[in-house]
Chains A and B, each alone.
Chain A
Amino acid sequence: MSQIISIHSYRGGTGKSNVTANLAAQAAMAGKRVAIVDSDIQSPGIHVLFGLDKSTMKQTLNDYLHGKCAITDAAFLVGREPTAKEGVCKLADKFLWLVPSSIETMEISRVLKEGYDVNVLNKGLKTLRKSLQLDYLFIDTHPGLNEETLLSIGISDEMVIILRPDQQDFQGTAVTLDVARSLDVPSIRLFVNKALSRYDHAQIRADVEKTYSTQVVGVLPLSEDMVDLASADVFSLRFPDHPWSKELIRAAKIILGQA
């Protein structure tokens, strides 16, 4: 049976999409059948990491939500296209689908203006899991709490909350954790991102675990190399020996139950 892993953060800019893309890519590299749904309809972005743009994204989650196509038609099998970057190319013989949200201004405006039927989204997630015979479905959400976020929390087997070592993130994470616990999510883990290298990461891990009584699955360093890549590729595939990647890969094994 497929596992649903939802990736959240209370605030924007935590690196949620980057972590989602890298975790999903590592699952695919391990031979699993994986899909990512970009449910951040208001401000989509994860497609950039896989080198997709308007010309390559034929159909999107928005098209599915508006009844224009089947959800499986909006699932793009990444790594096969000739323009794929060095890292994403490594997925060429793997199975990682991305269901992107539209980056057409009109489409984003339409969803904001009219809303949509959340049942259709939910049905689509079920169809994806079944039709693509997924081992893992990753849901990348809008920061904070809204319908898509809450739905993904409500149906997930595993929830990963990304936070930075930042007071605003700490407060927001407490709220998100409260919601997740009240919705009986079976497994909740924290992932600290953008930790300054001069700090003791083991201490950060210990402090955060103590504060929230929740496992910290990894502490990722703030990396200039990551910033330099500018979301142009999947970092852990492109630079597998980088300290950021090693920590990500270690955490991925724990989340995927391979540790």
Chain B
Amino acid sequence: MSGVFDRLQKRMEVESQEGGISPLDLADLPPLLRKIMRYMLREYELTYPEICEWAEELAESERPTQAQLDEALTVLTKQFWLIKRGEGERIHYQANLRRKAGSKLAQGLWNALDTKIAAAATKKEETPPAS
């Protein structure tokens, strides 16, 4: 059973990753991996038995073997597109989306904009409503 230290360590590892999947990356995945990721994005977080149950319910033509499913989960975890937590019966997976990047404009521009917005808000508050 993982302790607090392990969980924090795991979180730090995850947060230090620049990676994570962009939904557009789904298009380049092989069909089984894409299917798993789409489902994981929808459900956000699932236990291993829940994923197995979902795979069992797929149409026969699409249903992976247990080995194929396990291999796919391993590949996605290594890519940091899925985050695996817990051990044994308590293993669960979470979809890991890439952070939406902020603007690449120079910080000075944003600071100037923030100052102007704040000044405009203050002015608005100080102006008495028209009677």
Contacts and interface: CB of A to CB of B under 8 A. Distances in A.
Contact of A183 (B20, B27, B99, B118): B27
Assign chain A's interface to a size class.
Answer: 20 to 34
A179 to B, nearest CB: 7
A182 B26 CA distance: 8
Nearest to B31: A184
A153 B102 CA distance: 22
Interface string B95-107: 1111111110100
Contacts of A146: 100
B102 A112 contact: yes
A150 B22 contact: yes
B43 interface: yes
A155 B120 CA distance: 40
A126 interface: yes
Interface of B: 20, 22-24, 26-27, 34-35, 38, 41-45, 94-103, 105, 110, 113-114, 117-118, 120-121
Interface string A177-188: 001001110000
A109 B97 contact: no
Interface of A: 4, 105-106, 109, 112-119, 122-123, 125-126, 146-148, 150-151, 153-155, 179, 182-184
A112 B23 CA distance: 20
A151 B26 CA distance: 10
B97 A119 contact: yes
B99 A122 contact: no
A151 B20 CA distance: 13
13 contacts: A105-B120, A106-B114, A112-B102, A113-B102, A113-B110, A115-B103, A116-B99, A146-B100, A150-B23, A150-B24, A154-B23, A154-B26, A179-B27
B15 to A, nearest CB: 10
A123 B24 contact: no
B103 A118 contact: no
B23 A153 contact: yes
Contact of A184 (B38, B96, B103, B121): B38
Given A105-B117, A113-B110, A119 B103 contact: no
A109 B99 contact: no
Contacts of B113: 109
B99 A117 contact: yes
B38 A154 contact: yes
A179 B34 CA distance: 14
Contacts of B96: 119
Given A106-B121, A109-B114, A119-B95, A183 B26 contact: yes
Given A105-B117, A147-B22, 17 more contacts: A105-B121, A112-B103, A113-B102, A117-B100, A118-B97, A119-B96, A119-B99, A123-B45, A126-B45, A147-B97, A147-B98, A150-B22, A151-B41, A179-B24, A182-B27, A184-B26, A184-B38
Nearest to A65: B100
CB-based closest 7 A-B pairs: A154-B23, A150-B23, A182-B27, A115-B102, A118-B97, A115-B100, A126-B44
